[in-house]
């Protein structure tokens, strides 16, 4: 092989190496674009996760407040039922007293009531 042929082969090899380097650069540029897109999507997912966690925490807080309100409501209901029972008892006793007074009034002769 002559020096000239070697030189041509060396030039061809250099051209091939240059093309390969350009291909690697293009591929690396594509990888950079994909990584940037991945980073943006990942950051969106992180933001969405944080937002979800805030909402879940708010729901948990609301649930705790609801449960506390239900406990207060149950106590109020129990108190109301107790008061209603007392009122029923009072009403029953009052009706009994009114009946006694009515019976006593009926026993008074009519003529004495006008005097």
For residue range 98-110, list pLDDT tens digits in order: 999 999 889 988 7
Range of the domain at 44: 3-107
114, part of any domain? no
Look at the pTM and tell me if it is higher than 0.85.
Answer: no
18, part of any domain? yes
pLDDT tens, position by position, 59-99 = 999 999 999 999 999 999 999 999 999 999 999 999 999 99
**Which pLDDT value is given to residue 65?**
98
Confidence band, pLDDT 50/70/90 cuts, at residue 113: low
115, part of any domain? no
113, part of any domain? no
112, part of any domain? no
54, part of any domain? yes
15, part of any domain? yes
Asked if residue 112 has pLDDT above 60, the reply is no
103, part of any domain? yes
The domain tally of the chain equals 1
What's the angle, vertex CA 48, arms to CA 33 and CA 29, rounded to 5?
5
């Amino acid at each position: 092989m002559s020096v000239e042929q070697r030189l041509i082969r060396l030039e061809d090899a250099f051209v091939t190496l240059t093309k390969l380097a350009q291909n690697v650069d293009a591929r690396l540029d594509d990888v950079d674009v994909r990584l940037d897109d991945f980073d943006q999507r990942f950051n969106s997912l992180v933001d969405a996760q944080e937002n979800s966690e805030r909402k879940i925490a708010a729901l948990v807080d609301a649930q705790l407040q609801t449960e506390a309100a239900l406990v207060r409501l149950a106590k109020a209901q129990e108190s109301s039922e107790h008061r209603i029972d007392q009122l029923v008892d009072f009403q029953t006793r009052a009706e009994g007293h009114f009946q006694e007074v009515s019976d006593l009034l009926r026993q008074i002769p009519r003529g004495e009531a006008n005097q």
